Amino acid sequence: MRRLLKRPLRLSRAQVFVGKLGCHCIIAGLLGLTFFFGFTDQLGADPVDTLINFTGRNAIHLLLISLLVSPAAKHIPCGDIMRFRRMLGVYVFVYALAHFLVYVLFELQLNWALIFSEITERPYIVVGMLALLLLLAMTATSFKRIQQKMGKHWHRLHNTIYLCVPLVLLHFSWSQKTLFADPLVYWVVAAAILWLRKDKLLRLIPFNK
């Protein structure tokens, strides 16, 4: 076992392909299945509430997992797990987008006046929208060719993922009726994950080179 761990584990193209396929099945499959149960009224008393929670929480779960990939790649002898990071990042956006669509389509039910006033006047919605726009920008520029074209700017844009963490957690906490609720646990976990990246984060702060 020890010998096995000493030698870096390289993943073949086939292994990466199978691994990604499995992730797609689980992450996209779960999303599709939950929507199916929602359409057929099998999601508890209020399917809209259940779906908003499901998509929102899992977007945060995926965000935190995607942030764990790079520190994990440094500490376990399998740097190839980095090849899964982009897929996870795109799924953060997919879940966040689903969360937004459930809110607009099924919670506010396309009442445009209400959608406009809620998105512009309610601070916790504004904060969530900001994070969604950042995720959109990162997803839109996630192709290799665009990455090469953007060069340094690409990294600057994609480092805003660290800004997304407090934004989405603020959105989550702020949406609750009371402070003493689940989001507190998320803040603690997120702080621990960001602590792993403290060196990088300190470098990102301007004037601290």
Give me the least distance between CB of 111 and other proteins, in Å please.
6
Comparing CA positions, the residue from 87, 170, 175, 99 lying closest to residue 132 is: 99
123 is a contact residue toward other proteins (CB under 8 A): yes
Q: Which residue has the tokens 């990088």?
A: 200
For 5-161, strand residue ranges (E) read: none
Residue 43 touching other proteins (CB under 8 A):
yes
Least Å distance, CB 163 to other proteins, is 22
Contact indicator for 186, 60 with CB cutoff of 8 Å:
yes
Report the residue count for the chain: 209
Residue 206 CB partners (closer than 8 Å, separation 6+): none
Alpha-carbon dihedral of residues 22, 76, 93, 154, nearest 10 degrees? -130
Q: Among 11-19, 64-72, 178-186, 188-196, which window interacts with other proteins (CB under 8 A)?
A: 178-186
Q: Does 208 bind other proteins (CB under 8 A)?
A: no
Site for other proteins contains 107 (CB under 8 A): yes
Stretch that binds other proteins, among 34-42, 55-63, 80-88, 92-100 (CB under 8 A): 34-42
In sequence order, what are the residues at sequence separation of 6 or more whose Cβ sits closer than 8 angstroms to the Cβ of residue 105? Answer: none
Asked whether 67 and 161 are in contact (CB, 8 A), the reply is yes
According to the binding rule CB under 8 A, does residue 165 interact with other proteins? Answer: no
| Contact pattern for other proteins over residues 66 through 105, marking x by CB under 8 A | ------------------------------------x---
Q: Does position 41 bind other proteins by CB under 8 A?
A: yes
Residues that bind other proteins in the complex, under the rule CB under 8 A: 35, 38-49, 51, 102, 106-109, 111, 114, 117-118, 122-124, 174-182, 184
